[in-house]
Structure 1
Amino acid sequence: MSQPTETIFSKIINRQIPANIVYEDDLSLAFRDITPQAPVHILVIPKQPIPMLAEATAQDQALLGHLLLVAAKIAKDEGLDRGFRVVINNGDHGGQTVFHLHLHILGGRAMQWPPG
């Protein structure tokens, strides 16, 4: 596993950078994306730094499940009753630009397939 480095997300967790936070608990933080790709675009991040999904281990299983449940709760709170998409980019070819695991919640419009 790679050594965690400070990222923009760790700075948001530590309140060094402001963010429009919509949810927080002991394990996770969620905030609105500053360059939204849909009318609703929220990022859910674990407070424990995991660089990318491919580097998660069996010890992260409960945390990963927690992040998905948080995403579902936020989608409900945001009124995304007609549907939403949850995206996890992994690695350079997967479109990951910040190497701190994060889930994108996208909604408020019909999504297209294939996505990219």
Structure 2
Amino acid sequence: MSNMDVITAHYEASDRGDLDGMLAPIGPDTTWTEAAGFPYAGTYTGPDEVRRNVFEAIARDWDGYQFTLSALLDAGDSIVGLGTYTGTNRKSGKAFTARVAHVWKFDGGKVASFEQIVDSAPVAAATD
């Protein structure tokens, strides 16, 4: 399976709401970095930390949270996903839309790291 196929499968799982499928390419040593300024900012290692600190937190805090992929770029050992986040904060009731890039890096055919680059301002404003 090519690097592009691995990440395509991740986003297809996301579209289905299949968290196990989304976490499938994340190995025990994979680092996952959520951007500074984002509510879940930090670097997490392995699928359990990513599940707990990112996806379970999002499910707890947001209604209708969604990532819509607009482009997937193949750069060999790096794959870049471009898209938009949307959702409504459960506490404030405020909705947001934010542009985002996901940078996936591979080493030896396995996901080594994920980095989120996002316009955090609209997300933060929705949590007020």
Query: Is TM more than 0.5 here?
Result: no
Greater share of helix: 2
Greater fraction strand: 2
Taking structure 2 as the reference length, the TM-score comes to 0.29
* Higher RCO, 1 vs 2 (CA within 8 Å, ≥6 residues apart): 1
